[in-house]
Amino acid sequence: MGLHPDFAPAFQVQGEPRALTSAGEFTGKSLDRVSRHAWRLFADWCAAADLPDLPADPVTVAMFVAEHPAAPLTQRRRVSAINTAHRCTGLPQPGHNETIRGLLNSARTARRNRIAAAAAERVPRLPTTGWPAGIFGRRDGLLLTLAAELSFEQIARLRRDEITSDGNQLVVAAAGEELRVVLPLVDAASVYRNWLEILGFLDSHPGTSLLGQYLDRGSNLGRYVGRAQQDQSPLLTPIDRWGHTPYAPTALTAQSVAALVRAHLTGRASTHPPTRRRVPPTPEQPPCPPVPDIVLDPGYYERGLRARHGAHTGLHDVTDLLDDVEERTERLLAELLDVLGDLG
């Protein structure tokens, strides 16, 4: 049995591998009459398609929904019955997958499609350089990219280690499932790396002053990506109007995510003009008094030379006089010692 083309995205149920359980082991006593009927319909279809019903992966549920058309309320009851059967047996609930939810809620799917189309247009125009516009543009670019596939609550809960890149796609592995994020004409992986550069840089340099200089110059920050990729901190964080992020890792709330997405899609997002660093005023200095012109005497140097020559001539015998005084002092000292010796 082929897979419906609408369900091409890859799914993966994470956790410990379990042995397949047959439908007969689940009696359905915990289900009401309508849910028991929905479960038996699903179990019989799985048996005919040679697919496991417990555990059933999201692809199986998507195929079942596609091949059994019904009103949206009926489809939601069927998926709810499948989820209940899995929950009662301690298995992950396949109906919680985002694609299954989209199949059951046409309004939700239409909203996602509108966000994806608008994001594909706006993300390439968001700035990645300049301060502080660059840091806002990098974060909001990733936020809009994720909003094309994930709910606002899921985006707010994302950690850094729950998202990776594959080519130009993003692979989100959270809540027991894997989802690929693709935007037309947008390299989602590059948008993701742009924000990782900011996170890695701030992990190494908590202050934003140096980051502002790097973004103003358009410097390459690729060497910081590896520092942030395996961290379990929140992926998307608040940024104040000056470009500062919380010192302690703090996640955006779902309400903040919704407000930011709405602002970008309606063209009301802030442009974040460049901030100018405040330079303290220099205290005024009193004016220096004018320096009077000094006119030197033309005979100044000649008089100095004559004075030095006279001093040299007048003091040439000073050394001899000092030597004579030293000799006389030594004689007087010797005579004094002789007198002292006679008295003793």
b/e for 174-206, b at 16 or more Cβ within 10 A?
Answer: beebbbbbbbeebbbbebbbbbbbbbbbbeeee
**What's the pLDDT band for 18 if we cut at 50, 70, 90?**
very low
CATH number at residue 53: 1.10.150.130
Distance CA 197, CA 203 (A): 10
- Where residue 10 falls among pLDDT bands split at 50, 70, 90? very low
Asked whether residue 283 is domain-assigned, the answer is: no
Question: Is the pLDDT reported for residue 9 higher than 60?
Answer: no
Which residues, 6+ apart, have CB-to-CB distance to 118 below 8 Å? 144, 264, 265
Shared domain for 49 and 158, answered yes or no, is: no
- Measure the CA–CA gap between 176 and 182, rounded to whole angstroms: 20
The mean pLDDT of the chain is 80
Co-location of 252 and 155 in the same domain: yes
Which pLDDT tens digit goes with each residue over 108-137? 667 777 888 888 889 999 999 999 999 999
Look at residues 221, 239, 265 and tell me which one is the last residue of a structural domain: 265
Boundaries of domain holding 81? 5-104
Residues 140, 142, 145, 150, Cα dihedral to 10°: -100
Pick from 22-36, 85-99, 228-242, 251-265 the range whose average pLDDT is largest: 251-265
Q: Is the pLDDT of residue 1 over 50?
A: no
Does residue 289 belong to any structural domain of this protein?
no
- The pTM score is 0.56
| Residue ranges of E strands in 92-214 | 163-166, 169-174, 177-181
The tally of domains found in the chain comes to 2
Last residue of a domain, one of 242, 265, 288: 265
pLDDT tens-digit series, residues 172-210: 886 556 677 777 778 989 999 999 999 999 988 878 889
